[in-house]
Structure 1
Amino acid sequence: MFDTMGASASADDINAMEIHHWYTKFMKECPSGQLCLHEFKHVLGLQGLTQDANKYVEQVFHTFDMNKDGFIDFLEFIAAINLVIRGKIDQKLKWYFKLYDADGNGTIDKKELLSIFMAIQAINGNQSMTPEEFTNMVFQKIDVNNDGELTLEEFINGVESDASLLELISKSFDLSNVLKVIQSGRRHSI
């Protein structure tokens, strides 16, 4: 019994059966083993999006494309799924930060956060606050030196120390509903 408990406590990664399931699904959708941006949108049923929503989907794609070759291969795909489903909060926050930091300069400014939140609203429907309110609230709470930019450290420390902000960010950027679409094999149009 002790062994089982120990195993489940440390089994942070997706198990072999789940990997097999995802691999079958991935190869069915993407026989080449290389998912390009167009296929990524197709798999998730994300065609005909607004410009903002489209930009967000592209940003998600590029964040998952870790070796920056313009494709998501199965290893990158499984790493992304593992992060979304099982990732610890600081791993997820690092990923969110990378997603927001559209120009890759190591900081997030209000414009970057605003454009990502607008895109997410376009995909997920109405949120409880406008993108402007959300952006101002985030900066007001966690931009400690008031320079209008958030470093990775400011972002992680700020979000982790504010339970309501953490919940809001986790809910807004939750990709597990996207994964359910892939898993079930249903394609939906937005």
Structure 2
Amino acid sequence: MNRKKLQKLTDNLTKNCKHFNRSEVTCLIKLFYNLVGDVAERPVAVVGLDRNAFRNILHVTFGMTDDMIMDRVFRTFDKDNDGCINVSEWVNGLTVFLRGSLDEKTKYCFEVFDLNGDGFISKEEMFHMLKNSLLKQPSEEDPDEGIKDLVEITLKKMDYDHDGKLSFADYEKAVREETLLLEAFGPCLPDPKSQMEFESQVFKDPTDFSDM
């Protein structure tokens, strides 16, 4: 990408970007194209990060290990649902992922946890996510029973309208009262250490990058 194209892309993405300045957007664009690699060698026209490449970034850079959650984070970034994260989805997704307000992160986490996209987090969805994210402890008891109990405890705490599932309004109210509940069903945001390391490595002076 030549400098003129890069400047135009940076201008467009900076306009809609709440939490990154122009220099940071430039760094993220350059990182994106470094991660995507040499486009000329690719037979497909779509330029972007596929599911595996993106999950690798979540795992290596942000320490995520839960397959189900990583898959949902990918889908939340991939707004046009084409199976590939393009450069604007990358920048806009990272805006919330790294620096979003509590409101933005609440919307994002709810979207991650609403596995079937129906606007609710059901008991079944909670069960699957908690079963995935909890460490398997060897015990005499049936581990599923313990997770079912945990689902009931969570519902009691978060299900304000008592309909047996969490609407966005339920979830938002619970998070406002106790922010630790933001990631109640699994880690889908970077921990502060990973975030700081990522930002310190990526947000260098954009002139440090060689021309693309």
Do the two structures share a fold, i.e. TM-score over 0.5? Answer: yes
SS in 1 for 2:166: strand
Residues 116-162 of structure 1: per-residue CA shift (max 9 Å, x gap): 3444457xxxxxxx865654443111202222111111111222123
Distance 1:69 1:25 in 2: 21
- Contact persistence 2:130–2:185 (CA under 8 A): no
- Specify every segment of 5 or more residues in structure 2 that has no aligned partner in the other structure, as ranges: 1-16, 40-46, 136-145, 203-212
Pick from 160, 177, 198: which aligns with 1:161? 177
Paired residue type of 2:127 = L
Which residue is equivalent to 1:16? 22
Residues 151-178 of structure 1: per-residue CA shift (max 9 Å, x gap): 1111112221235535x64994332537
Residues 99-128 of structure 1: per-residue CA shift (max 9 Å, x gap): 111111111112212323444457xxxxxx
Normalised TM-score (structure 2): 0.64
SS in 1 for 2:160: coil
Which residue is equivalent to 2:56? 42
Whichever of the two has the greater Rg, that structure is 2
SS in 1 for 2:66: helix
Paired residue type of 1:140 = K
Normalised TM-score (structure 1): 0.70
> How many pairs align?
162
RMSD: 3.1
Dislocated runs of 4+, deviation >6 Å? none
C-alpha deviation, 1:64, in angstroms: 0.8
SS in 2 for 1:23: helix
C-alpha deviation, 1:85, in angstroms: 2.1
Paired residue type of 1:37 = R
Which residue is equivalent to 1:8? none
The 5-angstrom pairing of residues 112-131 of structure 1 reads 112-121=125-134
Pick from 190, 196, 200: which aligns with 1:175? 190
1:147 aligns with 2:153: no
Distance 2:132 2:100 in 1: 23
Paired residue type of 1:40 = F
Distance 1:61 1:183 in 2: 23
